[in-house]
Structure 1
């Protein structure tokens, strides 16, 4: 394009020490329409966009036509992700040559947040696994352990843990054996506490009997386990000396709750 074209279309306006290029006017009374340099596109477009209530191209053109002149190519930019032409102010300029529309920008932000959350979760999991490995070292078959018993499965005067021994390990859970039999359920490592002394061995485990945690607690209890037993045997010569007595059948001594605290053959005194 020749210099003659520019001379016919534009003129130089000097105001003090500031020089600006404006559209050539037919008369001195015409409004000045400034040509905006490339480095000023963003500022002018942002002002027009905000002044028109986040308007699109046509509203912005109408607002600017009597003040500035910006090429139409500056209004629409192609998104690098979805190839959608959108307003330059309605997206994100990642770098000089990369532009994302508002939808792709939000999607990218959500993806980045998800990736960050995933990496932080993996970090927390690794930290938890490391702590668990240090706090609960692996047990081997034959190790003497104690197993916690909840308050609903034991008497109030019973010990809070029962003695056992590790029989087997599969999928990070352990099979526990006691003198009364083998536990039906398998226990995880945090439920088990290794004993400092070997008070029970693999040879002490009764292999032909399977029992629950409550039954194991009852077997090691000195008072019959959770709840209490009592009998209502009638006063006879053989009172509480046969298996018809619930206390005698359970290998327990009669107490003050039995048969109105009357004496019997199953009492120490």
Structure 2
């Protein structure tokens, strides 16, 4: 049978019991920690019986004209009786009738009082609650509000998680491309795509560049085939990190033995975290090895006559060959793509030097910084006699003089040399000064 839902009244009763148990535990804890501390007799905790006796004592003290005791003088000087309908309550003595009314709350009614104020302010924090309670009440303390907030279910659910302290996490740092790579297998057996039930995820730790390969299963043959496609494009990483355990380590070692690469990378999964990685190691260069020795795979339907080794060699030549035409992106320009040609490859760092019609670019590019332009039919000549920056190259090649690379944030009419566009002899463009309608340089 299904359990009956807990009524709101039962929840409030449970919260009330927990609230008073926390208060009693706090009082007991303070008494045990400081047993010799002198306690001042205040009205912070006043039971309902003491509250009624105080009302009677105040009324009798007010009726007396003489012969009042010291306690009666104290009561009538500090408190007064206040009628709310048919209910008589004790409030702080006011100098005038316009002063704020502040009630003394009996101990048994503190929970209901805090609950009413808490709902009025909308489940706010302790300091807002304390300010709201002290506005019209005398004896509600910080400890009482803290105990109440620890019993409010909504406040507990809305409470932000405290930051973890005392735990030092040492980050993994990579110096450049192909220093560390991460690989894992994602299980799609519950949602397969035809025969493919696994996805191999390969990520370079430095550039965060991802490579995905669909797999029919996670056998050593399929994983090695997917890795061969990736390492012939990006090169073999110095460290290959994975949480698939010893099984994947064996597969990776077989792969590196297959491509004929022996060295630190062949044992990359066995490197200790404390091992020094500052010394540069060679990165896989496809031109240095006989790719015909790679384990043959099933021929694709599209290229039945092409062997796997020839297919991989063709991919490596297309992607890593010198004199190939590539397209690199240049942001904040009217012509965002720059057509270049690969003129030099630094294999040990997997970096490429590009040249365009304006000259050789002075920056080395990683493989993920440009795209290969297949079957390029653009007739252009590159210059190798000078080195220039990317933006200088765009400015020289652009028919508009590089407009779009220079922009201003003027608030006036852009008529003086304080305007960067006016100073460079160009008109302001759509990237300049937002919604400024005073511009005259258009």
Q: Could you say which structure has the higher strand fraction?
A: 1
Scaled by the length of structure 1, the TM-score of the pair is 0.36
Q: Which has the higher contact order (CA 8 A, sep 6+)?
A: 1
Tell me the TM-score normalised to structure 2 length: 0.24
Q: Radius of gyration: which is bigger?
A: 1
